[in-house]
Structure 1
Amino acid sequence: MRASRQLIAAFVSLLAAAPAVVQAQAQAGEWVSYRDAYRAMVQFEKYGGPKNLLQSQLQVQSRDHAGLGEGAQLTLTGKTTQLNLPLDALGRTVFPLTKAAYDENAALVLNRKGMPFVLRPQVTIAPRADGQYDAADLRTACAQALGFVRYVDASQRARQCVGVRFVFPRKGSAETAGARLRHAEGGEQALPVTSGAAFTGDPDEGFPIVTWRFATAPGRAQVVTYNAPLAIVPIFE
């Protein structure tokens, strides 16, 4: 139960950009109980508020911040369950909610022998195939994410949505990793690209980042990305 409470708390601390991040640690450095991860991840499924613009994933990180390396994946292993869960460039995977794995208390195993790791739930804004994001939709999506955070922890009610952070792959030029702001009257401006971490508490800060704050364009506008972002992270303050 302690590990499941830690995972649920991680939803709040990560999305609300709290300075301290609580994580579920692998047992003996090599596996995590499926039930513990399930209890945290099912919170998003149970949430009855608007969430159509959001997605929920499970993130894996090495506990010593050394990085997972290419080809890392989780394997869900139980008496009758065997499922490979490939990880994206941010160490995330779609978490399967299965009764059989829960009943068997299957293990989540990382294919990095002896590497201690942690699991962190991540809720982000779902990307669009056309790369065009209306400002109104981004504000709505951020509000949906904040609603979920408040559902998990009522103490976060003082937080407000202030913007979004587009996270791009490391490979590519600043232009291909960037985005531009398209105003309602037709004018466009490039948004600055910086380097940073995808999520609060991540040790890897080498990702190209475009941060867009809602206050910079209070009217109608669009954010247009040059290429698909790895993640769109809501920003709360």
Structure 2
Amino acid sequence: MIQKKIVMLVFLIVFFSNCHKSENKQDNNLLLLQALAVQDPGIAGLLAPMDLMRSMGGSSGAGAYSKGIVSPFQTTSTTEEVSTVCPLGGKVLHTGEWNESDSQTGASLQYSLKVKYIDCRIMGRDTSGTGANRIMALNGDAMIEGRADLIFDVGFAPQDAKPELRYTMNSTSRNNFDSYTVNGHAYPKSDITTKASNGKYAFEHMDDVDKATMTVDETVEVTGKIGDEEINQVIKYKSTTKLH
């Protein structure tokens, strides 16, 4: 069986308030919040790298866009430093371990990686329907470890080169950030853990780089510390994002 690797760009969350005000004031508030988000991405900036790491581990990089095909699987096993190109430019250097097992009905993976982001650019996800996706530029160091278990939807065959993929995933990830910035905003030392249960994911148009999309319907529990601040949040979202 061909070895596979799950590519998911998830956990990138941008919040916008929806106050009961006039339309013009709502627009002004949205613009202000967008500007603030660039300066301080908040929890979104810390969640951004988690699933990006699931897309790394092979020299061909996230999404496997080569030869006009977007594949959610890639050969994965790294015990020495690997340089990987990020989806929108820049790169990630990573060392560590990545263990994966696959079957006809699902896949499981465990990873423990030391990561260095070098102007690694990814697209933040719009969760409000405003179309306010933005590019996040990641720089700095992190230690990331976790586990993910996937169950493919009935009818999906991993060996088939189909343009669509749907699955349910349960995952846990612990992330330690030391010197880390997003869009120039420097975060304090942080240690956060995320847990997602029964998340629903769909990749569509994977045979077309320009049309490929990912839809996520998920609830994520986030706990830990950002600097001296304790965090305990439950984040629910559903969104569709272009992968390129």
TM-score by length of 2: 0.23
Q: Which has the higher contact order (CA 8 A, sep 6+)?
A: 1
Query: Which one has the bigger helix percentage?
Result: 1
TM-score by length of 1: 0.23
